[in-house]
Amino acid sequence: MQSEDVLIEKCKHLIEEKTGWGNSEFWKNQDFTELSEKIYEETKINLSPTTLKRVWGKVKYESLPNLSTLNTLASFVGYENWREFKLKSIQEEQPRITVPQTEVISQQINPPKTEPRFQTKSIGVFSLILLLAGAGWLTIQTFSKADIKKENQSSTPFSFTSKPVTKGIPNSVVFTYDATAATTDSVFIQQSWDPKRRVLVPKNKHQYTSIYYYPGFFKAKLVVGDRIVKEHDLLIPSDGWIVAVQQEPVPVYFSERETRKNGTLGLSPVQIEAKHIPMQPQPPFVIFRNVRDFKGILNDNFIFETEVKSNYNQGSAICQFSQIMLLLENDMMSIPLSNLGCVSDLNMSVGDKFMEGKTTDLSGFGSDMSHWTKVRVECRNKKVQFFINDKKALETSFSNAATRIVGIHYGFQGTGSIRYTKLQRLNGEVVFEENFQTQTAM
């Protein structure tokens, strides 16, 4: 799970990438002065060079940066505030690390970056901690407001549409756009909320295609300069269950024949190793995901039930971290699980609430994950109760606007299995039920 220190390191790394100045280990006083000026230009908030040097460890300082400083740094890299940055670090597409990274939306060529002042290779700060929160598996599309301004789209001379070319995954999407009215050549297609997934396109051309390797709900945008001139929802359904070991640029998929056996959906370590994927020293991250039309059921009133277990507890996978997520339009709800001794490292998100095991008692989500664990979520008028093995683990509520459930996602450190999943309305109407022998999608 991501501690505050890890999140700060991640934010610093994003700032280093944005400036293009190379590894901050070699930054001098003038670099922090210039960074202070750049931050002020974009956020209209002044962070002194001394404050920035404290954040980067150039000046000895024992305490963490205050919230005001963190809000400004998060805003500089495209987030509304520090809270949104923390939330998106669970939801966002994974960073570039060897094993499960954030969800790769597509293979693409990024816009040209400023040549770094130093050629020293930047030291990555992202760690597998991100996986334990299931970070890379969501493409939740509440976009950043800090670095892009929104036009009144009804009155713009621009157009922007998209069309997936097939069912299932992988799926190429054809974006059709008209940006000839732009007064700048800086025209981008941004495939999700994440500004890092922005691609420079010729303003006088009209089509761009991209491969989506994972299903999900996306908010695609046409950006001119620093303004969103058009945007639209884009749902990439999975056409059944997608089972994969996450890696970049292309995940390792497993077929239904390989994964659906004896009333369960799962993978064994032997199956993973047969694809030449090592289980140690860093275990892989396995996902199971189903994105589809769930008959318009909303996240403010529903009942969700499932049973899961971890299939691996060796070496660094001793905690058997697992994550269940209900994927929503523009949002998500997560249910973290682990062995009881590891609950301090759990994080969860429910609507506008983000809870950390370091500061919230999430011990109810601890279980013997080597055995089948029952999970039940009951939501009535945005008041949510979570039950683990028929015992209430947590009760909370959220204030976000109700939104449609569009997907069910499971993630396991190492690997795991599912033997039952059911989504229904409060009146008992079953919207989706799967026992992995027969399927009902009403």
pLDDT at 88: 77
Model confidence over 103-144: pLDDT tens digits? 333 333 333 343 333 333 332 222 333 333 333 334 333 333
Nearest Cα neighbor of 417 from 266, 231, 276 is: 266
**195 or 374: which leads in pLDDT:** 374
Average pLDDT, the chain: 82
**339: helix, coil or strand?**
coil
Cβ partners under 8 Å of residue 6, min gap 6: 125, 127, 129
DSSP single-letter state for residue 7: H
Write down the H helix ranges in 308-400: none
User: In terms of DSSP bridges, do strands 285-291 and 405-413 run parallel, antiparallel, or are they unpaired?
Assistant: antiparallel
With 90 as the cut, is the pLDDT of residue 382 above it? yes
Pick the CATH number of 149-236 from 2.40.390, 2.60.40, 2.30.30, 1.10.3470: 2.60.40
Nearest Cα neighbor of 113 from 21, 35, 42 is: 21
Of 243-247, 269-273, 327-331, where does mean pLDDT reach its minimum? 327-331
Model confidence over 7-60: pLDDT tens digits? 888 899 899 888 888 788 888 888 888 898 889 888 888 888 888 988 998 876
Domain with CATH 2.60.40 in the chain: 149-236
pLDDT at 193: 64
The pLDDT confidence band at residue 273, using thresholds 50, 70 and 90, is very high
pLDDT at 2: 53
pLDDT at 205: 95
User: Which range in 154-168, 267-281, 424-438 is most confidently predicted, on average pLDDT?
Assistant: 267-281
Domain with CATH 2.60.120.200 in the chain: 242-440
Model confidence over 274-304: pLDDT tens digits? 999 999 999 999 999 999 999 999 999 999 9
Q: Average pLDDT, stretch 347-354?
A: 87
E strand residue ranges, 259-330? 260-261, 264-266, 285-291, 301-310, 322-328
User: Which range in 70-79, 112-121, 241-250, 307-316 is most confidently predicted, on average pLDDT?
Assistant: 307-316
The pLDDT confidence band at residue 194, using thresholds 50, 70 and 90, is low
Q: Which amino acid is at 14?
A: L
Rounded to an integer, what distance in angstroms lies between the CA atom of residue 253 and that of residue 244? 4
Rounded to an integer, what distance in angstroms lies between the CA atom of residue 228 and that of residue 212? 22
With 70 as the cut, is the pLDDT of residue 150 above it? no
Following DSSP, what letter does each residue of 84-133 receive, concatenated? HHHHHHHHSPPPS-SSS-S------PPPP-PPPS--SPPPP---THHHHT
Model confidence over 67-99: pLDDT tens digits? 889 999 999 999 889 888 888 776 554 333 333
Contact present, 256 and 439 (Cβ < 8 Å):
no
pLDDT at 192: 73
Percent of the chain with pLDDT over 70: 81
Percent of the chain with pLDDT over 90: 52
With 70 as the cut, is the pLDDT of residue 415 above it? yes
The pLDDT confidence band at residue 370, using thresholds 50, 70 and 90, is very high
pLDDT at 332: 85
Contact present, 102 and 135 (Cβ < 8 Å):
yes
pLDDT at 263: 93
CATH 2.40.50.140 fits 242-440, yes or no: no
**Rg of the chain, C-alpha, whole Å:** 22
pTM of the model: 0.69
Backbone phi, then psi, for 84, in 5-degree steps?
Answer: -65, -40
